[in-house]
Structure 1
Amino acid sequence: MKPFILLGALLLSTPLYAAQLVLELGAGSRTWQTEELLKHPQARTITITDDVSYKRNMSYRAVPLSALLTGINADDHLQAVALDGFAAELAAAPLLNHNGAQAWLAVEDPRKPWPPLAEGKPSAGPFYLVWSNPQAGHISPEQWPFQVASIKKLAAVAERFPALRPDPKLAANDPVNQGFALFQKNCLACHRLNGAGDAQFGPDLNIPFSPTEYFGADFLKRYIRDPQSLLHWPQAKMPGFSATVLPDAELDLLVGYLKHMTGRKQQP
């Protein structure tokens, strides 16, 4: 075979890039390559209605995430870390679910790249955690991390970051503790509080001041619902949390947690 023909054959048979997903799950740890995942025996083409990141219906080649979480139990805690440092805190139980809301790892085929997320932006690939029937599990937009680089098994948030904890004298079902759970689900991927957390995006929500100290309650809730309605900033990254995603009762609990933590400030 002539050299240029051989080179052409190699280019046609080789992916445009090699991406890898690192799973740090203890005994089940391993690294998956793009091609391995595309050929996974449980891989299939799925359609996601009203995709959170693309704001339209999308079709993906995807693997049930549960098929990759070897050795993970429902009471475990995971963290999905994106290429840009976004760190989504994820309870394992919903990720292992086979009914109702189901988690999938969408895998970008380099021969069929996904569209960019916005003009001048990359795609959601190479790996993107998506959900079928998310309404059944009350799945938050923060539970759709894209450009995922690794998924790690970690201790629960309260164990890793004691500075986030409400007053330990409060009952487990106290509204403040309910708000703390909502903070972990909806805010901790982008924000720290008292300097605690793995996020690298938004500002600290207690040091030096909590937003409950410089926003009136109604304006803070309005800001959470639609950040651009209060502070118009074209480069802002914070999404709005609609009442479908974060009902009014849950928004009140979240704000209640933030107010409570103003009395528990700890310098980083």
Structure 2
Amino acid sequence: MNLLELQDFLDEKVEFYNTPDFIESDPVQIPHLFSLKEDIEIAGFLSAIIAWGNRKMILKNSHKMIHLMGNAPYDFVMSHTETDLERLEFFVHRTFNGQDFISFIRCLKNIYQNHNGLESVYAKNQEIGTMQKSIHEFKKIFFEIPHQYRTQKHISDPLNNSAAKRINMFLRWMVRQDNKGVDLGIWKSISPSSLSCPLDVHSGNVARKLGLLTRNQNDAKAVAELDSKLREFDPIDPVKYDFALFGLGVFERF
């Protein structure tokens, strides 16, 4: 395929997968449970953080997290007592355990009390055309209060050459305006043009087969390479192609 044919092919796949049916099997369903902005972004953030491994287990444990917070994430973050936190102690999703969960709740409270919320932190540190420095700065602010050192591994840093797949996915959910009912687009202070594709093993393999990616590792350098190609197709909404790459990899075994 030449570039024009490739773009047409990917555009068709975006139209096919970027529909409400996508929500049924994806953790984006978790923030869709809520209408309050703060509930949406906290539920989205926490479910994105544990979005690795078996998809059914991701969904099961994401719903469990919400249930443990009394189905009111923002109220729980801001009003919890030490006794409330005790019921989080036995939560486990792969290497993310109850102590990590408790640390995240405390860090989120600090973000909302002292930094005007998640959107404000990400928007304040953004650069034109990229969110990579913003993610780096967010991690520093998120962990500025006392916490277990091991918990830091659950937020990746692209300036340490991580693909930061889960954070890029969370940002897609919050920022992208898709008008299709999948991405929520509640953050207006960040441009969708600055987003990066959530690169994982599936989207990476498809991108390589299509000639969009030459780098073998799924790291920050690969994200930058893929971003540059996808921006050629659509500089305004480049991460819409995540639907095509992910759908081709997971659902079509491309």
TM-score (norm 2): 0.23
Bigger proportion of residues as strand: 1
Q: What is the TM-score when the length of structure 1 is the normalising length?
A: 0.22
Q: Which has the higher contact order (CA 8 A, sep 6+)?
A: 2
